Copies of this chain bind each other. A is one copy, B any other.
Amino acid sequence: MKATACRKTHFNAAHRLMNPAWDDNRNKEIFGVCSNPNYHGHNYDLIIKVTGDIDPATGYVMDMKLLKELTDKHVIQKFDHKNLNLDVDEFRQLNPTAENIAMIIWNILRKEIDHKFSLSVVLYETERNFVEYTGK
């Protein structure tokens, strides 16, 4: 008996979309206002989804408190109230698009969560733009 357990959390961050191999004009042409050199920002909503068997002793797929603690420690403390381009090592050479942020979060959490569980990350950049990354 498998189920998917989901935990929603959030972080607030500044970012600028840019390919460091391109000059400012090319970045502005491709990324428009999202490439403002002084940055802009978002309230990111993040949903972590873990799929696995329901443990008959607890009735949990995975203890949500543990999932929350892992996400807080490895993701939220690293990203919240930060400038993603300047303050987060993973984005020094990687464009902090929603797709790439979701991929980085998935890579971070994949190391922390038992491989008997499958893992999916949904990231809302705004309520209108969001992405899902499943590692496939």
Contacts and interface: CB of A to CB of B under 8 A. Distances in A.
Interface of A: 1-10, 12-15, 17, 19, 30-34, 36, 38-43, 54, 57-61, 63-65, 80-83, 86-87, 94-100, 102-103, 126-134, 136
A101 to B, nearest CB: 9
B58 A129 contact: no
29 contacts: A3-B102, A3-B131, A5-B129, A7-B129, A8-B128, A9-B128, A12-B41, A12-B126, A13-B40, A14-B39, A19-B59, A31-B58, A36-B82, A36-B83, A36-B87, A38-B82, A38-B83, A40-B80, A40-B83, A42-B43, A43-B126, A54-B97, A54-B99, A59-B95, A59-B100, A60-B99, A61-B99, A61-B131, A64-B129
Complex copy number for this chain: 6
B99 A5 contact: yes
B30 A14 contact: no
Interface residues of A, dominant DSSP: mixed
Given A4-B132, A61-B99, 4 more contacts: A3-B133, A33-B80, A40-B80, A43-B43
Contacts of A58: 19, 30-31, 95, 97
